[in-house]
Amino acid sequence: MTSGVGAPTRASISARTLRTDRWWLPPLLTNLGLFAFVAYATVRSFMGKWYWVEDYGYLTPFYSPCLSESCLPGSSHFGTPLPELPGWIPLGFVALPFLLGFRLTCYYYRKAYYRSVWQSPPACAVAEPHASYSGETRLPLIVQNAHRYFFYVALLVSVVNTYDAVVALTHGLGVGNLVLLTNVVLLWAYTLSCHSCRHIAGGRLKHFSKHPVRYRAWTLVSKLNVHHMRLAWTTLGTLVLTDLYVMLVASGAISDLRIF
């Protein structure tokens, strides 16, 4: 290595790190969390069943919007402009790549997987395995710069998920409705706390006093933004729990507790 920690101007230390604490634990936990979510979401997306509860109008967010003729009757809230799909294409494929793109390019997730998956570096005072550092100037990491555009699509998807949750309310009220609504509220909190959203609200302004509406929006987004990391993990969890709940009710494994 002739650059980075191996550069001639750096102290020559053969050990990868002199740290003796468990510095590897946070990256390991992050890896496990992300891997568990990706594995679950992938399996569920390709299952092609138990995503819609007709009696109560519950649609899992992993299959929304469902736009093909392969979708179960009633689950296509926005029509079926697409023909039947082969089994290897997930029914929620319209939104999935964008949602994945939104999460992958999220500033918080970057921090998490740059340290854990990419190991650049894995922890403070622990040398990274890469010979050189090119940041986000080359493929694949240059894609991170598209985060703002993924944000616009994520906004749309949040609207779609909200619509799904409201449509379900027309069937009455059950625990499933509370699950869908909680998921949607947290998804909005995560989406609106995005750093791109904060910049769109109040960025590139020279005088806040001349833009009171944008200043107010920026202030509100900033308050949410402080919790972005927590919201990132919470919404991973609520997405899985919401999907799991819909799957269990749709498959008949449990019945939905009805309130009225």
Q: Rounded to an integer, what distance in angstroms lies between the CA atom of residue 43 and that of residue 35?
A: 12
Task: Name the segment binding ligand FES (CB under 6 A); options: 3-11, 76-84, 93-101, 190-198.
Answer: 190-198
Q: Which is nearer to ligand FES, 177 or 225 (CB)?
A: 225
Task: Name the segment binding ligand FES (CB under 6 A); options: 12-20, 125-133, 157-165, 192-200.
Answer: 192-200
Helix/strand/coil (H, E, C) string of the chain? CCCHHHCCCCCCCCCCCCCCCCCCHHHHHHHHHHHHHHHHHHHHHHHCCCCEECCCCEECHHHCCCCECCCCCCCCCCCCCECCCCCCCCCCCCCHHHHHHHHHHCHHHHHHHHHCCCCCCCECCECCCCCCCCCCCCCCHHHHHHHHHHHHHHHHHHHHHHHHHHHHHCCCCEHHHHHHHHHHHHHHHHHHCCHHHHHHHHCCCCCHHHCHHHHHHHHHHHHHHCCHHHHHHHHHHHHHHHHHHHHHHHHCCCCCCECC
- Give the nearest distance from C-beta 203 to ligand FES in angstroms: 13
When asked if residue 194 is in the footprint of ligand FES (CB under 6 A), the reply is yes
Give the count of residues interacting with ligand FES (CB under 6 A).
9
Q: Rounded to an integer, what distance in angstroms lies between the CA atom of residue 182 and that of residue 193?
A: 16
When asked if residue 246 is in the footprint of ligand FES (CB under 6 A), the reply is no
Q: Which is nearer to ligand FES, 73 or 135 (CB)?
A: 135
Task: Name the segment binding ligand FES (CB under 6 A); options: 49-57, 82-90, 160-168, 194-202.
Answer: 194-202
- Give the nearest distance from C-beta 195 to ligand FES in angstroms: 4
When asked if residue 196 is in the footprint of ligand FES (CB under 6 A), the reply is yes
Q: Which is nearer to ligand FES, 58 or 102 (CB)?
A: 102
Q: Which residues inside 93-122 make contact with ligand FES, applying CB under 6 A? A: 106-108
Q: Which is nearer to ligand FES, 91 or 99 (CB)?
A: 99
Among 195, 199, 211, 214, binds ligand FES (CB under 6 A): 195
Q: Which residues inside 135-174 make contact with ligand FES, applying CB under 6 A? A: 147, 151
When asked if residue 228 is in the footprint of ligand FES (CB under 6 A), the reply is yes
Residues that bind ligand FES (CB under 6 A): 106-108, 147, 151, 194-196, 228
